[in-house]
Amino acid sequence: MNAGSRKIVPRPKALNCPSCGSAIELRAMGAAATVVCSYCSSTLDATNPQLVILQKWQSQMTVHVQIPLGSRGSLFGAVWEVIGFQQRGITVEGTDYYWREYVLFNPYKGFRYLSEYENHWSFVQSIPSLPVHGVNSHNRPTVTYSNLIYDHFQTAQATTWFVIGEFPWQVRVGEVVAAADYVSPPYMLSSESTANEITWSRGVYVPGADIWAAFQLPGAPPAAIGVYSTQPAPVDNRPGRPWKLFFLFSALLIAMMIFFAVKARQETVLDQTYTYVASTPGEKSFVTPPFVLNGTSANLQVEVTGMDLQNEWAFLGMALINEETGQAYDFGRQISYYFGTDGGESWTEDNHSDSATLPSIPGGRYYLRIEPETEVGTGGAVSYRPIKYNVKLVRDVPFYFRYFLGLFLLLLPLPFLGRKGANFESLRWNESDYGVPPNAIVWQSNSSSGDDDDE
């Protein structure tokens, strides 16, 4: 052989497991350090042609391998073959959490990993450089890598519980590493360390649908459960957005209020004082001279003031009658004024002024018909006393209260919405070592959910 010859490495031949004798296919063509027999689950030394047994299977775990070993898929610009799978777990406050990892291989690109937890997927690759450690403004640990700051999410002891296939390092069931995760969604920076070694890797969140498409897996990807540490926040759930909308609409409401206030005609079409004497015989009702109400549809304020009552009530039955169409708007107002002394204290019940606004009166020529009435004394006695009162009609008056009511209505849903937007981030950080997002103010000092280190 000389320098110019092309050496073609053939596909691996099947070998036999020395423990159970079943056929083992080596896909990584010798890159793997260990291979696990899929029948008897013994871990074998893949670098030794005799496939020396390294560990017989311990675990009784049932595990669902979602991407079968040997599958090839296209992700991030290259073709990868799944050559190994493992399930690892941590224990936090008594609860076990498991996740799964798939070893991907391409002889020209090397190794990558797919990490899956609760149907959230990440594409992971080892990084050559060391990140730089630091803290954020709330004293939470961070690492910086390639100009991106990652917030510390969790540190735990990760145990390998189940392995199958080939791995570029020697795996043993039961092996423990210290795993630390730092996140900057959608990216994660992770370290795994033992006494003699630390390795760093970087992962990016990949939607399940992309994994299914890449490996052409059957069916639909199972729905992801909960919020994952690096899951990108949905766009319209970003905290702060409902508040921006609130300010936008509040400004709109204020603008409307000013607009209608300026636009309001506030035309006084009638301002007359009348006198009513109960004892006068004959028809008590009367009509005002006609007046024009401008505008297509506007309100009409009816103000009755200065009614001169003495411990009695008066009732004004009124009808706004359109001279041309014969349409009448019939309404009545009750006016009263009572006073007295009660054990040394004088009281009044004062309703001797009254104001009502009639809605949406069409424009046209109108007159007002008024029919006054007062209470009849005991025995049917009627009063001789003249009662004066003033009736004022104003066309198109502005309103203010309703806009403040509108602002209140806009404000009302916000505590529930704001929480939902912020809720995504709260859910994300809930599973972290801190329980709250990295910029949350924690009132208790130095209470972490990690292990105490008094040994």
Partner 1 sequence: MSQPTAICPNCGAQIRFRWSSAIQTTCEYCKSILVRHDVNLEKVGQVADLPPDISPIQIGTEGVYRDTAFQVIGRIIYSHDVGAWNEWHLMFSNGSSGWLSDAQAEYAVSFLSQPETPLPAANQVYRGWEFVQQNVRLAVTTLTEASYEGVEGELPFQYWDKAKCPFADLRSSDGRFATIDYTETPPLLFLGEFVEFESLRMVNLKEFEGWTA
Partner 2 sequence: MSKFYMIYSSLVAGGLFYSGLTGWSFGSYDEVKGVPKSVRDNPGAYRSHYASHARYFGGK
Residue ranges in 8-27 that form contacts with partner 1 under rule CB under 8 A: 8-12, 26
Structural contact between residues 392 and 338, judged by C-beta atoms closer than 8 angstroms? no
**Which partner in partner 1, partner 2, none is near 320 (CB below 5 to 8 A by kind)?**
partner 2
Residue from 18, 33, 358, 424 touching partner 1 (CB under 8 A): that is 33
Residue ranges in 242-261 that form contacts with partner 2 under rule CB under 8 A: 242, 245-246, 249, 252-253, 256, 259-260
Does 357 participate in binding partner 2 (rule CB under 8 A)? yes
Asked if the bond preceding 128 is cis, omega within 30° of 0, the reply is: no
Q: How far apart are CA 411 and CA 343, in angstroms?
A: 47
Question: Helix 414-430 to helix 241-263 angle, to the nearest 10 degrees?
Answer: 170
Nearer to partner 2 by C-beta: 187 or 246? 246
Residue ranges in 278-337 that form contacts with partner 2 under rule CB under 8 A: 283, 285-287, 295, 297-299, 311, 313, 315, 317-323, 326-332, 334, 336
Lookup result for tokens 């939607």? 207
Structural contact between residues 143 and 150, judged by C-beta atoms closer than 8 angstroms? yes
CA R_g for the chain: 42
Residue from 17, 66, 69, 111 touching partner 1 (CB under 8 A): that is 111
DSSP assignment, residue 290?
P
Nearer to partner 2 by C-beta: 176 or 245? 245
What is the CB-side half-sphere exposure of residue 328 using CA atoms within 13 A? 10
Residue ranges in 128-167 that form contacts with partner 1 under rule CB under 8 A: 128-132, 145
How, if at all, do strands 187-193 and 176-184 pair? antiparallel
Q: How far apart are CA 393 and CA 180, in angstroms?
A: 77
Containing 272, the helix (H) or strand (E) segment is strand 267-277
Structural contact between residues 197 and 398, judged by C-beta atoms closer than 8 angstroms? no
**Which partner in partner 2, partner 1, none is near 8 (CB below 5 to 8 A by kind)?**
partner 1
Containing 253, the helix (H) or strand (E) segment is helix 241-263
Nearer to partner 1 by C-beta: 35 or 316? 35
Does 32 participate in binding partner 1 (rule CB under 8 A)? yes
Residue ranges in 102-121 that form contacts with partner 2 under rule CB under 8 A: none
Asked if the bond preceding 186 is cis, omega within 30° of 0, the reply is: yes
- Residue ranges in contact with partner 2 by CB under 8 A: 236-237, 241-242, 245-246, 249, 252-253, 256, 259-260, 263, 283, 285-287, 295, 297-299, 311, 313, 315, 317-323, 326-332, 334, 336, 338, 340, 342, 347, 349, 351, 356-361, 367, 369, 371, 373, 375, 396, 399, 402-403, 406, 409-410, 413-414, 417, 420-421
Residues that bind partner 1 (CB under 8 A): 1-12, 26, 28-33, 47, 49, 79, 106-111, 126, 128-132, 145, 168-170, 193, 195-199
